[in-house]
Amino acid sequence: MPKQKVLSKESLAIASNVLEFCREEASNNQLKVPLRHPLERASQMTKLSKSTLQKSEASSSSVTIEKVRKIHKNKIQMDDFDKCVLRRTINEMLGHKKIFPTISLIQKELVEKINFTGSKKVLRRLVTETGFVWKKCESNRKLLMERSDVVALRIRYLRTISQYRQAGREIVYMDETYIHSNHGVSKCWQSADGSKGRFVPFSKGERLIVVHAGSRKGFIPNALLMFKAHSDSGDYHQEMNSENFEKWLREKLIPNLPEKCVIVMDNASYHSIQVDKCPVQSTRKADIQNWLTRHNIAFNHTMLKPELLHLCKINKPTPKFRCDNLLREHGHDVIRLPPYHADLNAIELIWGIVKNDVAKKNVGCKMAEVKKLAEEKFSEVGEKEWANCFSHVEDIERDYWKTDLAVENEVENIVISLSSDESDSDSSETDSEISVDSDDTISYDVASYENIDTSDAN
C-alpha cells in the first residue's frame, strides 16, 4: 500500500478552495470563468492573487523539488525547551548511561523524545548553538562536552537560588512572550468532504506581546502588560527595548512586589544594559582614558589605543546593569538565568498553560478576541498552577546537580588533551568567559567555585 502523502495547512486550504469552486460550477452547470482565461480561473479557484501564481510558476521552473526539500531541512530550528531536552540528553549519555554521545545516537534519542526531523548536519549546528563543543581526547577521539563556562554559570545559579530559598526569600520569575492572532490548535474537526470546519489563515497574523511576573503564590498583581506589536520582523525583542522594559519595572512590577524579593530574569539584551560599560574597540581614545581614570587605573598618556584597551581588559570589573540597580534600590535582589536554560524559568511553563487555552478557544482569529482570551486565562491561573510549576523547576534543578556531578566523575576518567589551537575551536567564547562587545549585551565573568554546596544533589 503506497504511503499516504501529508499536506500542509496551506495546501489543504488551497485544495478546499479548488473543490468549492468546482462544486459551484457543477451545481450551476456552467463555467464561472471561461477556459480561455487559465490564470483567472486558477486565481479564483485557489483564492491566490495572479501575481502570486505567476511568481510560483517562475520559481518552480528554476528550483527543483530536491533543492526545496534541502533548503527546508536546513532551516529546521528548535525552541528553547527542545534545546534543553537536547542538553539533558547529551549529559545523560555521558553521566548516567556511560556512553559517548555521538550525533547518530543523539539523533536517535531526539526522534523518540521530541520527534526531531532534522538531518545530522542540522543537529551538529543545533548542538553548537546549545553550548557544546568537541574536545579531543588523548586517544585522538573527539568527545562532545558542554562548554565549561556554561556549566560554571549554571552551578553558580543553582547554588545562589538554593541559598535564597533556604533563607526564605520569595522568588519571582519574570519574562516576555508573544501570542499570534491566528494562534490555534493544529488539529480540529473537519467534515469528510472538507467543506466545513475551522478556517485557519495562512499567515500567523498580528502579534500580542505579553510581559508578566509571578511567584509561588501566583501572578504579581497588576503587573500584566499586553500590547500589539508594530514590527513586522517577527522578533518581539525589537518591541521590548530597554526603555519599555524599565518603564514596566517602574510602573507595574516594582510598586506591586512584596518586600525583599529575588527576581529571576534571562539575559535578553534589554535586560542587560550596562552601567559604565568597559570600553571596546569602537570606543574613542579619549573616552577610554576617562574610563581608566574613573576606575583609578594607572596609564601613560603616550600609550596607543590598543595598549589602553588591553589595560581595560585585564582590569575589567564585574558588569553592572541598569535594571538590576533599579530593583536593588527598592530592596530586591536579581539573579540571572544561565545561558540556554529556559527550563529553569517557571513562568515559561505558565506561558504554555495560557497559550494552550487561547489556542483551544481562538475561533475568530482577531487580535481583540485573542487579547480578551489571554486576559481571562491570566486571571484564572492561580497559586495551584504556579506551585506546580515551581515544583517542576526545582526538580529540574536537582536533576542538573546530579547530572553535573555524574558527568564530572565520568570525565575524570577521560584524559582530555587540548592544544592551544584546538581548545574549544567550535566556540567563539573562551572557557572562562562569555563576553560580547556590544552596547546592549550581557557579559559574564565566571567567579571561583570553592566550597560549592552539593547537598541538593543527594
pLDDT tens series, the chain, 458 aa: 455 566 677 787 788 888 888 888 888 888 888 888 888 888 888 888 878 887 776 665 554 444 444 444 456 678 888 888 999 899 888 888 888 888 999 999 999 998 898 889 999 999 998 899 988 776 677 888 899 899 999 999 999 999 999 999 999 999 998 888 777 665 555 545 554 555 555 455 688 899 999 999 999 999 999 988 765 444 444 567 888 899 999 999 999 999 999 999 998 889 989 998 999 999 999 999 999 999 999 999 999 999 999 999 999 988 899 999 999 999 999 999 999 899 999 999 999 999 999 988 877 678 888 899 999 999 999 999 999 999 999 999 999 999 988 888 877 776 554 443 444 444 333 333 333 333 333 333 333 333 334 444 44
311: which 3 cell numbers?
589595560
The whole-angstrom separation of Cα 11 and Cα 366 is 23
Question: Residue 447's pLDDT is what?
Answer: 38
Question: Residue 4's pLDDT is what?
Answer: 57
The whole-angstrom separation of Cα 174 and Cα 214 is 7
Task: Give 200's contacts (C-beta < 8 A, 6+ positions apart).
Answer: 9, 13, 182, 184, 365
The phi, psi pair for 137, rounded to 5°, reads -85, 175
| Residue 81, CA distances (Å) to 2, 94, 344 in order | 35, 20, 10
For residue 276, the 8-state DSSP code is S
Question: Residue 3's pLDDT is what?
Answer: 52
Question: Residue 239's pLDDT is what?
Answer: 61
The whole-angstrom separation of Cα 454 and Cα 230 is 47
Amino acid at site 103: I
* Contact status, residue 161 vs residue 335, Cβ threshold 8 Å: yes
* Contact status, residue 86 vs residue 111, Cβ threshold 8 Å: no
| Residue 456, CA distances (Å) to 71, 118, 212 in order | 45, 36, 29
356: which 3 cell numbers?
494552550
Question: Residue 441's pLDDT is what?
Answer: 36
226: which 3 cell numbers?
499586553
Length of the chain: 458
Tell me the β-bridge partners of 264.
173, 335
Q: Are strands 225-228 and 207-215 parallel, antiparallel or unpaired?
A: antiparallel
Question: What is the rounded end-to-end Cα distance, in angstroms, of the chain?
Answer: 54
CA 45 to chain centre: 40
The whole-angstrom separation of Cα 264 and Cα 253 is 13
Question: Residue 60's pLDDT is what?
Answer: 58
The whole-angstrom separation of Cα 194 and Cα 196 is 6
| Residue 83, CA distances (Å) to 33, 96, 111, 230, 236 in order | 51, 19, 13, 29, 20
DSSP string for residues in 410-426: HHTTS-B---TTTTTTT
Question: Residue 75's pLDDT is what?
Answer: 60
Amino acid at site 59: S
The total of other beta-carbon atoms located within 10 Å of residue 390's CB is 19
DSSP string for residues in 134-190: EEEBTTS-EEEEE-HHHHHHHHHHHHHHHHHHHTTPEEEEEEEEEEETT---S---B
Question: Residue 327's pLDDT is what?
Answer: 96
Q: 335, 282, 338, 281: which is closest to 313 by C-alpha?
A: 281
For residue 258, the 8-state DSSP code is P
